[in-house]
Structure 1
Amino acid sequence: MSHEPPEFIQQRLFYRGRVLNFEVSKLRLPKGTVGEWECVRHPGGALAVPITDDGKLVLVKQYRFSVQGRLLEFPAGTLEPGEDAATTVKREIEEETGYRAHRWHDLGKFPLAPGYSDEYIYAFLAQDLEKLEQPPAQDADEDMEVVLMSFDEFEAAILSGEAIDGKTIASYFMARLHLNQS
């Protein structure tokens, strides 16, 4: 099996958006097959798994247009141009939950949906939380509420099929593994 990269024959930008772009690339694979592949280009995102001193997870229930409903998620946001993931996640946790974390651990990164997007999520564990008296305003296009859950309640929500996004579930288990090794 060849590990050579495919040859780019043609790349077309179909849509340039505020946050993401949509491209179609014509490629020749190392075995000679030629085809077209679509890709959503995204700058990446950062996510916090916030845990209060009494062991509660801090989540948000957020309306998501793409699924026409509310999803349970950890606070997260898109990386701004020139911004590192740690800066993004520190801003987002304050804006979305009204908490500031004083202890951070980098859990790593993972591709969100590599079948059609190049987006990576940078996950962080956020601890030693302080409830802010004057939290920053949420972005005008966000509709969310803060939800506190125990680990057991969150795992029950996963098993019951509650609407929880994939990056939240993946990051939760990354945090659990880290906490179990500490």
Structure 2
Amino acid sequence: MPLGKEPPEVLKQRLFYAGRKFNFEVTRLRLPNKAEGDWECIRHPGGALAVPVTPEGKLILLRQYRFAVQGRLLEFPAGTIEPNEDPAETIKREIEEETGYRAHRWQKLGEFALAPGYSDEFIYAFLAQDLELLETPPNQDADEDIETILMTPQELEQAILAGEPVDAKSISSFFLARPFLN
């Protein structure tokens, strides 16, 4: 087997933190070139995201406070996949809880690694159409600070290009959805 084609050898794995949403571990590896080192990784169950489009062609986004960046980001509705849950079920639940809308037509847009330099999290992106505004208000989690925003695809693109704070998973999913937007 040529150098670099064989997988690294795991020498030791240590769990440093087991949390509600993710775990943090450090793994000691020996690379095929015999160099050894420690690699840190956030182990995450993954997330599902919706690009919701109203019948008028508006996108439903959230302006959400995110502690890690100490500010509000513009993002599409998304949520963490629960154990043994299909990503499609995750996002159907999350879109209703976060926005108060129910989608009757779904299309998978794709999936992508969110931050493979330090996490194994994948995002599963869906296009949500044929939306119905529910009579009951959104049932947001107690620890969420969310405002629902309607924007045209052009307005979102302008916001991204102007440097407004938009999270990476939403920018990536917007790009995947562009061929389906008016």
Q: Normalised by the size of structure 1, how large is the TM-score?
A: 0.96
Match of residue 121, structure 1, among 110, 115, 123: 123
Q: Normalised by the size of structure 2, how large is the TM-score?
A: 0.96
Question: Which residue does 1:48 correspond to in 2?
Answer: 50
1:4-43 mapped onto 2 (5 Å cutoff): 4-43=6-45
List per-residue Cα deviations over 1:107-131 (Å, max 9, x = no partner): 1110000000000000000001111
Residue 61 of structure 2 is aligned to residue 59 of structure 1: yes
Equivalenced residue count is: 180
- Aligned-partner SS, 2:166: coil
What's the offset of the Cα at 1:32?
A: 1.3
Question: Which residue does 2:133 correspond to in 1?
Answer: 131
What's the offset of the Cα at 1:99?
A: 0.6
**Ranges in structure 2 where 5+ consecutive residues have no aligned partner:** none
What's the offset of the Cα at 1:179?
A: 5.0
The range that moved more, 134-143 or 96-105, is: 134-143
What's the offset of the Cα at 1:46?
A: 0.2
Report the residue type matching 1:151 in the other structure.
P
Residue 162 of structure 2 is aligned to residue 160 of structure 1: yes
List per-residue Cα deviations over 1:62-94 (Å, max 9, x = no partner): 000000000000000000111110000000000
Question: Which residue does 1:106 correspond to in 2?
Answer: 108
| Structure 1 consecutive aligned stretches of length 4 or more whose deviation exceeds 2 Å | 177-180
- Aligned-pair identity in percent equals 69
Tell me how far apart the structure 2 counterparts of residues 6 and 64 of structure 1 sit (CA, whole Å): 35
What's the offset of the Cα at 1:48?
A: 0.1
**Ranges in structure 1 where 5+ consecutive residues have no aligned partner:** none
What's the offset of the Cα at 1:19?
A: 1.0
1:141-156 mapped onto 2 (5 Å cutoff): 141-156=143-158
